[in-house]
């Protein structure tokens, strides 16, 4: 069983949930407050989610952002997911990263998510 399905089955680490999705803190956070939002159904690809699952994930993204804002006061966010092995997906259960960003956490944040390919980040 996948690690995310185990959390759901054992009711571990869950910070927020609704009918079709749940949110946890990332076990290997990029920054303080880094959260993961995912469907309860075991599905690897975001593109295989149904509209109701996407809606529930989006609702939890909003709730989780407010939670992080209140606790950690970040200066910005990166939001995204890794789709497939060649995009860096290591757990084959769809999950959206909500990564708080802070002034000074990198020398130059310009290009943001484009940094997944470092030579393409600056433009």
Q: Does residue 74 register a pLDDT over 80?
A: yes
Q: Is 121 exposed, middle or buried (0-12, 13-18, 19+ CB in 10 A)?
A: middle
What are the structural domain ranges in the chain? Answer: 3-105
Write out the CATH class of domain 3-105: alpha beta
Question: 56: buried, middle or exposed (CB in 10 Å: 19+, 13-18, 0-12)?
Answer: buried
Q: Is the pLDDT of residue 40 over 90?
A: yes
Identify the H or E element spanning 59: helix 51-72
Task: Point out the least confidently predicted range of 22-31, 46-55, 94-103, 113-122.
Answer: 113-122
Catalytic residues: 95
pLDDT at 120 over 80: no
As given in the structure block, the two tokens for residue 38 are 């995912």
pLDDT confidence tier of residue 115, bands split at 50, 70 and 90: confident
Using one digit for the tens of pLDDT, what is the confidence trace for 51-73? 999 999 999 999 999 999 999 99
Name the residue among 39, 55, 35, 43 with its Cα closest to residue 97.
35
pTM: 0.95
């Amino acid at each position: 069983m996948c690690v995310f399905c185990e959390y759901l089955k054992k009711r571990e680490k869950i910070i927020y949930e609704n009918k079709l999705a749940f949110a946890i803190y990332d076990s290997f956070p990029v920054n303080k407050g880094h959260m993961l939002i995912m469907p309860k159904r075991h599905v690897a690809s975001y593109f295989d989610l149904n509209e109701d699952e996407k809606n529930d994930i989006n609702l939890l993204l909003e709730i989780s952002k407010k939670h992080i804002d209140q606790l950690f006061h970040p200066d910005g966010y990166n939001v995204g997911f890794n789709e497939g092995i060649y995009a860096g997906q290591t757990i084959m259960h769809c999950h959206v990263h909500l990564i708080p960003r802070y002034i000074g956490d990198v020398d130059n944040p310009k290009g943001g998510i484009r940094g997944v390919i470092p030579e393409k980040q600056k433009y």
